[in-house]
Structure 1
Amino acid sequence: MGIGDYYKILKVNRDATNEDLKKSYKNLAMKWHPDKNNQYPLRKQEFEAKFKKISEAYDVLSDPKKRQIYDLYGEYPINSNRIGEENGDGSNLKEDVAVDVVESCLVCTLEELYKGCRKKVNIIRTVPDEFGKLKCIEEILKIDIKPGWKKGTKITFPGKGNQQPGSPPSDLIFVVNERPHSSFKRDGNDLVMIQKILLLESLVGKTLNLRTLDGRDLTIEVTDIVKPGDELVVPDEGMPVAKELNKKGNLRIKFDVMFPSRLTTHQKHDLRMILFDADDN
């Protein structure tokens, strides 16, 4: 396979889904396919090289097992030892591939980081067989996600990484990453959400019905006048604090006041009278 970051080559994030991969590959293949770029005959080799890298990247990342190996070791296929070859002077040549601590991304939803969960991860790693040659073995690891863990949290499995002949196995480290949520964004231990409200609702009040990350229905009465950019803080409805039992951050609701696109003359007159009366009071 070619050298390079396959995710960058396909212009996708490391947590890209199969649909993301297909869409990006299709767009890039159409752009760089040599048969579709005859208008640039002098750049034929460039198009061929680009298309080859794009195809290699998609071939690996679209295959779950190949992608897992690539994510764990940064390459596919894995380089193996060349044992038993001879130098020019007849001595044996042994080339070991050095493997440091291996880090792999562990993508979690915001719900999983809120409630905690157990994730099962299938890993493939290289170890020497009884003859000292490398082989791949599969293993399922169980990872207990604690409530309140943040992006960047590391979980270490000692001795679960690659192993070279004559050396102890390296450690395998999973680094927590957070999948974007449709409603909430995390800010430390707080949860932040954008709430759109009509101009009328910002003046007369509104009842908000929200669904929390653990599935509870939360009712919040907004009674004060809301100005653009205002923020309502709901205590203890944020993320759990991982190191402090039964403590949570806050839920911060940021209001986006939607103004009407137009008003009739009559509406403007009525609104002017109402607001003038309010100012007088």
Structure 2
Amino acid sequence: MGRDYYASLEINRSATDADIKKAYRRLALKFHPQSNRNPGSEERFIELAEAYDVLSDLRKKATYDTFGEEGLKGGIPPEIAANGAWSSGYVYHGNPDKTFRQFFGGDNPFADFCTQDGNEVDINFGGLRGRGVRKQDPPIERDLHLALEDLFYGCTKKIKISRRVMNEDGHTSSIKDKILTITVKPGWNEGTRITFQKEGDQDPNNIPADIIFIVRQKPHPRFTRQNADLTYTAHISLEMALTGFAVEVETLDGRLLNIPVNDIVHPEYSKVVPGEGMPLSSHPSTKGDLIIQFKTLYPEKLTPEKRQLLKQALTM
């Protein structure tokens, strides 16, 4: 009988991807050799890593669910494999620390548990053996992707994080979820940093890390942004460029601007509409400008008659 990866993670076969991640996080932290020196913990840590490596991958999981460990590791013939199932033999890379680091995205909860001289520190619920020196973990930075409309109006974003918190005994810890609320102000720029102090994993020996969210603006279908100014590109014909026209621009707040252009539109020409850009974060009632750029579409061909008429018109 093959290995039961679900039992290894202490979940049932109906577990969702989120359930699989939550179970691995809890058990990997519990049985990591740097936090658990009990006999068998290292073997259990390796077992957890292989179970997570299989069940977190849709193709491997599909093969395992259908054919078991024997089919997963022995390989499935192409004529039998279906629905994206694994068709070649699976071999675990054998490095549970690699799986652990990949899961935590490089934020290894145990990375700092070494003294400056490189000697390992005993963290098996015993702390820093009398040293009593606490340092803060490095900040954890995450991107906060926002639409241009979110940055125009302002909005509220709620983000759920999972972190280790100390239990009441002051020695053991558990994983708990927490909701962080970010109030986005109108006019925030790309790169704005929002800091939640000491909201990282708790530890009896270290000060929790700050969690920092960095604003990243999503691309917009109509506008590009430069600080408080918005740029819109209008496509016009050669006739319009030479004779004048009006361009319609739908603003971020849903208004339709009808802007006359009476100048000749040359390649470096742009039209500035004051006060129709982004609000200033320091003074939301004040807005930047809307800059309209133009792309002139030239005719691909001209008949001899039209070419002659155009020459006459331009030489008058």
TM class by shorter chain equals 0.5 to 0.7
Counterpart contact for 1:79–1:97, Cα < 8 Å: no
Alignment correspondent of 2:161: 123
Q: Report the AA paired with residue 124 of structure 2.
A: G
Within the alignment, does 1:110 sit opposite 2:148 as a pair? yes
Within the alignment, does 1:172 sit opposite 2:211 as a pair? yes
1:218-252 Cα offsets, whole Å, 9 max, x none, are: 11111211111211111001111111241111111
The 3-state SS of whatever aligns with 1:200 is helix
Q: Tell me, which stretches of 5 or more residues in structure 1 are unaligned?
A: 1-21, 23-34, 36-47, 61-65
Choose from 184, 187, 190 the match for 1:148: 187
* Counterparts of residues 163-242 of structure 1 (less than 5 Å): 163-242=202-281
CA distance in 1, matches of 2:207, 2:110: 18
Deviates more, 1:101-110 or 1:127-136: 127-136
1:40-72 Cα offsets, whole Å, 9 max, x none, are: xxxxxxxx9xx99xxx99xx7xxxxx6xx63xx
Counterpart contact for 2:136–2:209, Cα < 8 Å: no
Q: Which has the larger radius of gyration?
A: 2
* Counterparts of residues 17-166 of structure 1 (less than 5 Å): 70=105, 74-75=106-107, 78-79=109-110, 83-84=123-124, 99-129=137-167, 130=169, 132-166=171-205
Q: Structure 1's 78 and 261: CA in aligned 2 closer, same or farther, altered over 3 A?
A: farther
Instruction: Please report the TM-score for the alignment, with normalisation by the length of structure 2.
Output: 0.58
CA distance in 1, matches of 2:271, 2:125: 71
Q: Report the AA paired with residue 271 of structure 1.
A: L
Instruction: Please report the TM-score for the alignment, with normalisation by the length of structure 1.
Output: 0.65
Alignment correspondent of 2:119: none
Q: Report the AA paired with residue 250 of structure 2.
A: R
Q: Larger % of strand: which?
A: 1
1:2-34 Cα offsets, whole Å, 9 max, x none, are: xxxxxxxxxxxxxxxxxxxx9xxxxxxxxxxxx
Q: Tell me, which stretches of 5 or more residues in structure 2 are unaligned?
A: 1-57, 59-74, 76-89, 114-121
Query: CA RMSD of the aligned region, Å?
Result: 3.4
Alignment correspondent of 1:247: 286
CA distance in 1, matches of 2:124, 2:216: 43
CA distance in 2, matches of 1:85, 1:108: 41
Q: How many aligned residue pairs are there?
A: 209
CA distance in 1, matches of 2:260, 2:300: 27
Alignment correspondent of 2:297: 258
Q: Please state how far the C-alpha of 1:83 moved relative to its aligned partner.
A: 3.5
- Give aligned-pair identity as a percent: 35
CA distance in 2, matches of 1:84, 1:246: 56
